């Protein structure tokens, strides 16, 4: 349902916005109550096993420790379609990006007992794994901005035991990695590498291969853990240095995060490709479309989806 974009219950105050610009992240903040989220996930995890309406089919997308088939499930799930448009999320996103906003990608980040943490990394164009820019800011904006606003929602407990996110506040203004370099995919190295005494990897890649300075080592003393309850979310620039801890196996509960990625409507999404090739998988973008979650779209170069593959309409603020 389209609502008056002048009414933004969860919009940032000037002070909160200034703090966000300084730190590169905001949160955690509540989107659902913990028990509400647990109940939702008990139902939705079963529903998501049905992939008959998913835009990326399993046989094409299956790969090592992650699979592209888990991208963009908001395109066939009513719950996820509504989630990416929730005012608790969109009001905060528009506080930073302005009123005209697309959600261009979503993805699940599961972490099971014994899984490694994720390498420290930054993402600007998201060419890091695919080799091709997946988002490109337009015109003068590209001089000052890049990356995407990610809203990462905890569907389960995310803590020091289960492998919560870590951030380095204030690191979103300077890229330490060059995404035009090439990372080499090798699923055999998953769960095998220790970095600064912590088991970390990047789903079969080694993010250190993209370092601008080969001798650069992330300063672990700057790391701030993002402990989150089910139903809480955190918003951050993808250019912020971020990572995750390993799941130490002290609990048998998996950690699950759901990331929704937002950009202004002027950003080119998948500008030079008709497929995603990464993490050992390959999928066609012929059923893909970005979702207008707020405002209007004055640009004709992005494919826009107005409803899910089952006909559920996307809301818009």
The pLDDT of residue 142 is 63
Q: Do the domain assignments include residue 313? A: no
Average pLDDT, the chain: 92
Q: Do the domain assignments include residue 308? A: no
Total count of domains within the chain:
1
**Beta-strand relationship, 242-244 and 232-237:** unpaired
Q: Do the domain assignments include residue 305? A: no
Q: Are 119 and 201 in contact (CB under 8 A)?
A: yes
The pLDDT of residue 285 is 94
Q: Do the domain assignments include residue 233? A: yes
Q: Are 146 and 124 in contact (CB under 8 A)?
A: yes
CA angle 53, 285, 152 (to 5 degrees): 75
The phi, psi pair for 42, rounded to 5°, reads -60, -35
Angstrom distance (rounded) from CA 238 to CA 176: 13
Q: What percent of the chain has pLDDT over 90?
A: 80
Encode pLDDT of 165-213 as tens digits. Answer: 999 999 999 999 999 998 898 888 889 999 999 999 998 899 999 999 9
Q: Are 28 and 228 in contact (CB under 8 A)?
A: yes
Encode pLDDT of 40-90 as tens digits. Answer: 999 999 999 999 999 997 665 555 555 677 899 999 999 999 999 999 999
CA angle 153, 2, 309 (to 5 degrees): 65
The DSSP result for 138-150, as a single string, is -TTHHHH--S-EE
111 SS3 class = strand
Q: Are 294 and 260 in contact (CB under 8 A)?
A: no
Q: Do the domain assignments include residue 77? A: yes
Q: Do the domain assignments include residue 119? A: yes
User: Where is average pLDDT lowest: 86-95, 138-147, 155-164, 294-303?
Assistant: 138-147
Can you give the CATH number for the domain in which 266 is found? Answer: 2.60.120.620
Angstrom distance (rounded) from CA 293 to CA 78: 15
Read off the tokens for 284: 């066609």
Angstrom distance (rounded) from CA 142 to CA 145: 5
The pLDDT of residue 57 is 79
Cβ count near 300 (within 10 Å): 6
**Residues contacting 283, CB < 8 A, separation 6+:** 56, 57, 60, 61, 68, 69, 71, 275, 276
Q: Do the domain assignments include residue 312? A: no
Mean pLDDT of 246-271: 97
Q: Do the domain assignments include residue 9? A: no
**Residues contacting 106, CB < 8 A, separation 6+:** 71, 72, 73, 74, 80, 84, 258, 259, 260, 261
Angstrom distance (rounded) from CA 112 to CA 114: 6
**Where does the pLDDT of residue 278 fall: very low under 50, low under 70, confident under 90, or very high at 90 and above?**
confident
Domain extent for 171? 14-294
């Amino acid at each position: 349902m389209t609502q008056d974009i002048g009414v933004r219950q969860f919009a940032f105050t000037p002070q909160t916005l200034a703090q966000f610009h300084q730190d590169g992240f905001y949160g955690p903040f509540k989107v659902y109550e913990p028990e509400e989220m647990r109940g939702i996930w008990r139902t939705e995890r079963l529903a998501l096993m049905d992939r008959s309406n998913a835009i990326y089919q399993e046989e094409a997308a299956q790969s090592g420790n992650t699979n592209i088939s888990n991208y963009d499930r908001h395109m066939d799930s009513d719950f996820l379609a509504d989630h990416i448009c929730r005012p608790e999320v969109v009001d905060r996103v528009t506080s930073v990006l302005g009123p005209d906003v697309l959600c261009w990608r979503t993805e699940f980040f599961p972490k099971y007992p014994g899984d490694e943490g994720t390498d420290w990394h930054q993402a600007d164009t998201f060419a890091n794994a695919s080799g091709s820019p997946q988002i490109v800011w337009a015109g003068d904006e590209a001089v000052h901005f890049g990356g995407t606003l990610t809203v990462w929602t905890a569907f389960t407990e995310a803590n020091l035991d289960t492998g919560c996110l870590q951030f380095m506040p204030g690191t979103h203004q300077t890229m330490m990695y060059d995404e035009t370099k090439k990372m080499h995919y090798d699923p055999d190295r998953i769960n095998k590498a220790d970095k600064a005494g912590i088991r970390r990897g990047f789903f079969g890649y080694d993010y250190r291969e993209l370092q601008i300075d080969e001798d650069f080592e992330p300063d672990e003393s700057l790391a701030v853990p993002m402990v989150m309850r089910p139903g809480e979310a955190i918003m951050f620039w993808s250019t912020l240095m971020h990572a995750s801890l390993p799941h130490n196996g002290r609990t048998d509960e998996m950690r699950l995060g759901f990331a929704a990625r937002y950009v202004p409507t002027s950003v080119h999404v998948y500008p030079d490709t008709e497929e995603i090739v990464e993490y050992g998988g390959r999928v066609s973008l012929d059923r893909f479309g970005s979702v207008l979650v707020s405002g209007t779209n004055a640009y004709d170069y992005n494919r826009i989806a107005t409803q899910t593959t089952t006909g559920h309409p996307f809301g818009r603020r």
